[in-house]
Amino acid sequence: MANNSEEIIATFIEENDLENQEDAVRAYATLVGADFLESFQEAYQGEFGSDEDFARSIAAELGAIDKNASWPNNCIDWEMAAKELMYDYAEEGGYYFRNL
């Protein structure tokens, strides 16, 4: 079975030209299984050093905060923001994925 999963992962990476994201694909396969890789590109959010870094990035992307302003950024409890955000996301090896 492991060999079959490895073959599925390798084929998916090659067919989708994802050699530069191989580690992220493998992390996603760990989370969802090799048979469900077709949702990788929709789910993949990027690589981040922590849940808090991921939360800051999402907030900035959504325009929820002004990344150039010190206030209120220095007052936000990013640990709590990340905790709530992670209900909708999963992390494996520093790679973040939206739960689909």
Domain encompassing residue 78: 2-98
Running along the chain, 100 residues long, what does each successive block of 10 average in pLDDT?
Answer: 83 96 97 95 97 94 81 84 96 96
Residues facing 92 on adjacent strands = 95
Name the amino acid, one letter, at 77.
Answer: D
pLDDT value at residue 8: 95
Q: Are 96 and 45 in contact (CB under 8 A)?
A: yes
What is the number of domains present in the chain?
Answer: 1
Q: How many CA atoms lie within 13 A of 48 on its CB side?
A: 18
Per-residue pLDDT, 1: 45
Q: pTM of this prediction? A: 0.87
| Strands across the sheet containing 95-98 | 44-47, 95-98, 89-92
State residue 2's pLDDT score: 56
Cβ atoms of residues 43 and 28 within 8 Å:
yes
Residues 6+ apart with CB under 8 A from 14: none
How many residues would you count in the chain? 100
